[in-house]
Amino acid sequence: MADHLSEAAKSSGDAGVEALATHDVFNQAPPYGGSNLAAGDPLLLATVSAHVSAWELKDVLAHGAEVGAEAFLELGRQANIHLPALKTHDRHGRRLDQVEFHPAYHDLMAHSFSAGMHSALLDGGVSTQLVRAAKFFLTSQAETGHTCPITMTNAAAAVMAQYPDVCADLLPKMQTRTYDPRFLPMHEKTGITIGMGMTEKQGGTDLRAISSTAEAGNQGSYAITGHKWFFSAPMCDAFLVLAKTANGPSCFLIPRILADGRVNGLRFQRLKDKLGNKSNASSEVEFHRAEGYLLGDEGRGIATIIDMVTPTRIDCALGSAGQMRAAVSRAVHHCRHRKTFGAYLIDQPLMTAVLADMALDVAAATALALRLVRAAAKVETDPVEAAYARLLTPAIKYWICKTGPALTYEAMECLGGNGYVEDYDMARIYRDAPVNPIWEGSGNVMALDVLRALGRHPEAPNLVLSELSKSGGASLSAACSGLPSLAAQALADPAHARVLTERLALTAAVAALKELQLDDVADAFAKTRLSGGWRSTYGILPAGIDAAGILESLYPPAV
């Protein structure tokens, strides 16, 4: 019987195969990728081109082509399915305390190094910061995990540059565009990365509750004993760490490997099994009299290391804005190619409204994050920009980062079941979305920091309101006029701090969009976000908003 059936199948040839086929695959979107992420983002180009030179804009466009390529997106996928692994000991039982990464991770790091994303704070200049921010925003659309050590190295420069007595030899190695993953003393490497360690088991936000201690030793070094509950990027070459001396919390630079080649006393306990951010290794560590070097004065460690906070928070906002753009871009791509009930999804009125509503948040987040970058680059020279950065950094970080997870889910839903499976990268984007709202200060911390900025810089509110009002428009004027009473209410009762924080960010977003002369987008955002109406999901747009026009302007079809 079996032989008979086999002979029959052979004789049928191709016709038999055709008979067994159940269907052809059609009405599926082509793979996402292969486009220039910068050239396809008119808002990004408008923001950057107004403040950079022609060759710098060309650099951003080249970067957009690189990170939008299918091969680069594949690196992101590979780095997130082949996870880092901690090797605490070698085969003979000697301590190793090393983390192994897939080659794709190192390729991502090398690319971001070559783009200068790890060292722009040492280079200075508004255009340099803006180009770096655009690249970070674009890279975050492809893969976000590896940007953690990139962010920390860039932010650490804000601290280390102030202490040349300790860091002078390291700063040039932070500026090189050569990524060097070798496990060697820093003086033998062509490029280095810097991590950080503040959070301990008994307390995260309250840094004065740390229990790690530092004992003065020989030749200016200290012996650090204690632990860190979250220790980011354990394969960095050095770390900025808080530990207590007799005078209180102090900031130390702890090398990974000492100058004589000995591995420093960092004992890694395990890697965190995180929801997302999988390609990046986050660890728990114990310090066994690890050698460290004091930065700043004893007891002033929090004030010293706090200079890392602002650039890190800005990267959180940029990264979340990039993830939001990544999610909506994939949703738009899918809907432009998928038909249902006789029409493409993007032309179905309900779907058009959902996509356009999400596009408003992405546009606002992008404009707002890049506006903050410009302000932060001028803190030392412009009192208005300094006030903007001090008051709005926590507000902008709060709103953009907390908007990301909900928006990313909605974009995932646009793909239906395809969005929920790991064959597509929407699931990874969704898992990655919650890290930035938590990292470097959760929502309540940001809201309290807004109140702290109001108290410490009483001149800031008037300067910022005057700056926001310059963009004009009735909705913006009305929003600005209501902020002083909200501020007074929140200062009197901190339970209202979140209301003030979100309102500040939304108002600043409208101003940032107006500054770019995107009046239709700005007015639609103001009408839906500042009108006071209750909105619990996307796609609830009032009459009179051109949803299709918004999508066409912000997500032009690929040529």
Question: What is the structure's pLDDT at 531?
Answer: 82
Q: Determine the pLDDT at residue 19.
A: 61
Each residue of 192-226: pLDDT tens digit? 999 999 889 887 777 888 999 999 988 889 999 99
How high does pLDDT run on average in the chain? 93
Q: What is the pLDDT of residues 346-386, one digit of tens each?
A: 999 999 999 999 999 999 999 999 999 999 999 999 999 99
Q: Give yes or no for a contact between 510 and 479, defined as CB atoms under 8 angstroms apart.
A: yes
Residue type at 67 in one-letter notation: V
Domain range list for the chain: 45-300, 309-554
- CA distances to 9, 17, 21, 507, 528 from 14, rounded to whole Å, are 9, 5, 11, 65, 58
* Percentage of the chain exceeding pLDDT 70: 96
**Residue 526 pLDDT greater than 70, yes or no:** yes
pLDDT at position 5: 44
Q: Which residues are 252's β-sheet partners?
A: 241, 294
Using CA atoms, how far apart are residues 516 and 521, in angstroms rounded to an integer?
10
Best CATH choice for the domain 309-554 from the list 3.30.70.20, 1.20.140.10, 2.60.15.10, 1.10.150.120: 1.20.140.10
Torsions phi, psi for 221 (to 5 deg) = -90, 165
The answer regarding whether domain 45-300 maps to CATH 2.40.110.20 reads: yes
| pLDDT per residue as tens digits for the range 58-79 | 999 999 999 999 999 999 999 9
Q: In the Cβ-directed half-sphere of 87, how many Cα atoms lie within 13 Å? A: 12
Average pLDDT over residues 100-108: 98
Q: Would the pLDDT of 174 be above 80? A: yes
User: Are the folds of 45-300 and 309-554 the same?
Assistant: no
Q: Is 254 helix (H, G, I), strand (E, B) or coil?
A: strand
pLDDT greater than 50 at residue 8? no
Tokens of 225: 């004993």
Exposure of 464 in the CB half-sphere (CA atoms within 13 A): 31
Q: How confident is the model at residue 535 (pLDDT cuts 50, 70, 90)?
A: confident
Q: What one-character-per-residue DSSP string does 195-206 give? A: EEE--BTTBSS-
Quick one: pLDDT at residue 219? 81
pLDDT in tens, 243-260: 999 999 999 999 999 999
3 has a pLDDT exceeding 90: no
CA 260 remoteness from chain centre: 36
- Helix axis angle, 147-160 relative to 309-337, nearest 10°? 150
